Amino acid sequence: MTESTIGAGNPGASDGSVITRPARIAVQNVTKSYGSRRNPTLVLDTVNLEIAQGEFLCLLGPSGCGKSTLLNIIGGFLTPDSGSVTIDGRKVERPGPDRCMIFQQPALFGWLTALDNVMFGPRAQHKVDADTRDRAMSMLDTVGLAGTANKYPHQLSGGMRQRLSIARALINEPQVLLMDEPFGALDAITRGQMQEFLLNLWAEHHMTVVFVTHDVEEATLLADRVAVMAANPGRIVHLDSVDVPRPRSYDLIDSPEYSRVRMQIRRTIENGGHS
C-alpha cells in the first residue's frame, strides 16, 4: 500500500451517465471549533484534502473525530472558522443541489409518496417540465423501486427508504454525493446489499463520492482512497489507496487483498495515525 497522490481516483468512463460531470473537491486549511468562545473545543484542526473527479473517498474514524463535521462543511451546512472548501474552484458557502447529502436517517418527507419525494428537488428549484415525471420514474427504476411510486415512506423497508433518498438526490444530477454513514442504521444483510447497490451505481455514473463511516470493512470495500481521521483535535492522520481492482463485490470481502488492506488500516488507527 502506498500513500496516494491526488488523482488516484477513477475518472473517465462515464458513458450513459445521468451525472453531468464529476467535480473536484479541495479542502484547504479547514478549522472548526464548537462550544463557547471562552472554552472552545477544536473539532477540526487545519484539515487539507484533495478529492479527484469521480473519486470515491471514505472518511474513516472513531466517533468524535470530526468526520461528519467535515462532511457538513463540504455540504455547506456548516461554515469553517478558517480555511475553505472549493468544488471545481467555486467556494462552498451554502447547501446546494450540485452536492447532494445522504444522511444516516433517510430524512424522507413522510407526507409525500415515493414519486413525489423524488420530484421534490425539481419542484423546489422550479424546474418541472414535461418529462420530469418520467425522469423521476426512471430514478425509482434505477434504485429498484419502480413498483412503489405511489407508496408512502412508512410503507417501505429500511433499505428501500435509503434507496429512495438516493433516488431523490440523483434526480438533481449532483456532481458530488456526500454520504454520512448512510447504511449505519440498516441490518447487516441489507447493508451488504446497499453497499453493492452503491458500487454498481457509482460504476455506472462515476460521481465524486465522499462517504463517512466508522466501519473499516465498509470503507475498504467501497473506496478508492481512505482518509483515516483521529480525534482531539479532529484531523486526517493518514491517506491510503485501496489497491483492490474493480469491479468489487461483497463476495470478495474475505479475499487476501482485502484482509491485508483492512489490517493495514486497523493498525494505522491503533497507532494513532502512524503506519
**By rule CB under 8 A, what string of x and - marks binding of each residue 21-50 to other proteins?**
------------------------------
One of 106, 159, 182, 192 touching other proteins (CB under 8 A): 106
12, 201 contact by CB (below 8 A): no
Distance CA 70, CA 61 (A): 12
Q: Rule CB under 8 A: is residue 116 a binding residue for other proteins?
A: no
Residue among 100, 108, 43 at smallest CA distance from 75:
100
The binder of other proteins chosen from 108, 221, 230, 239 (CB under 8 A): 108
Whole-number minimum distance, CB 247 to other proteins, in Å?
29
The H or E element that residue 193 is part of is: helix 188-205
d(CA 223, CA 256): 17
- Residue with Cβ nearer other proteins (54 or 121): 121
Q: Which stretch binds other proteins (CB under 8 A): 43-51, 118-126, 137-145, 218-226?
A: 118-126
Asked if 262 and 217 touch (Cβ cutoff 8 Å), the reply is: yes
Contact residues for 90 (Cβ-Cβ < 8 A; gap 6+)? none
Looking only at residues 161 through 200 of this chain, which bind other proteins when binding is defined by CB under 8 A? 161, 165, 168-169, 172
Q: Which residue's CB is nearer to other proteins, number 123 or number 266?
A: 123
Query: What is the rounded distance in angstroms from the CA atom of residue 202 to the CA atom of residue 211?
Result: 12
Dihedral, 162, 167, 168, 170 alpha carbons, nearest 10: 130
Minimum CB–partner distance for residue 233 and other proteins (Å):
25
Cα-Cα-Cα-Cα torsion 5, 8, 9, 11, nearest 10 degrees, comes to 120
| Residue 171 DSSP class | T
Q: Which of 153, 159, 182, 234 binds other proteins (CB under 8 A)?
A: 153
Q: Which one of 62-70, 101-109, 207-215, 231-239 is the stretch in contact with other proteins (CB under 8 A)? A: 101-109
Q: Which residues contact 216 (CB under 8 A, 6 or more apart)?
A: 60, 262, 265, 266, 269
How many residues bind to other proteins according to rule CB under 8 A?
A: 29
CB closer to other proteins, 49 vs 101: 101
User: Which residue from 220, 237, 272, 250 is spatially nearest to 1, judged by alpha carbons?
Assistant: 220
Give me the least distance between CB of 173 and other proteins, in Å please: 11
Q: Which one of 18-26, 33-41, 99-107, 200-208 is the stretch in contact with other proteins (CB under 8 A)?
A: 99-107
Considering the complex, state which of residue 43 and residue 169 has its C-beta at the smaller distance from other proteins.
169
Q: Any contact of residue 210 with other proteins (CB under 8 A)?
A: no
CB of 155 to other proteins, least distance (A): 9
Q: Give the span between the Cα atoms of 45 and 115, in whole angstroms.
A: 42
Out of 28, 120, 196, 244, the residue judged to bind other proteins by CB under 8 A: 120
Sites of contact with other proteins (CB under 8 A): 75, 77, 94-97, 99-101, 103, 105-111, 120-121, 124-125, 152-154, 161, 165, 168-169, 172
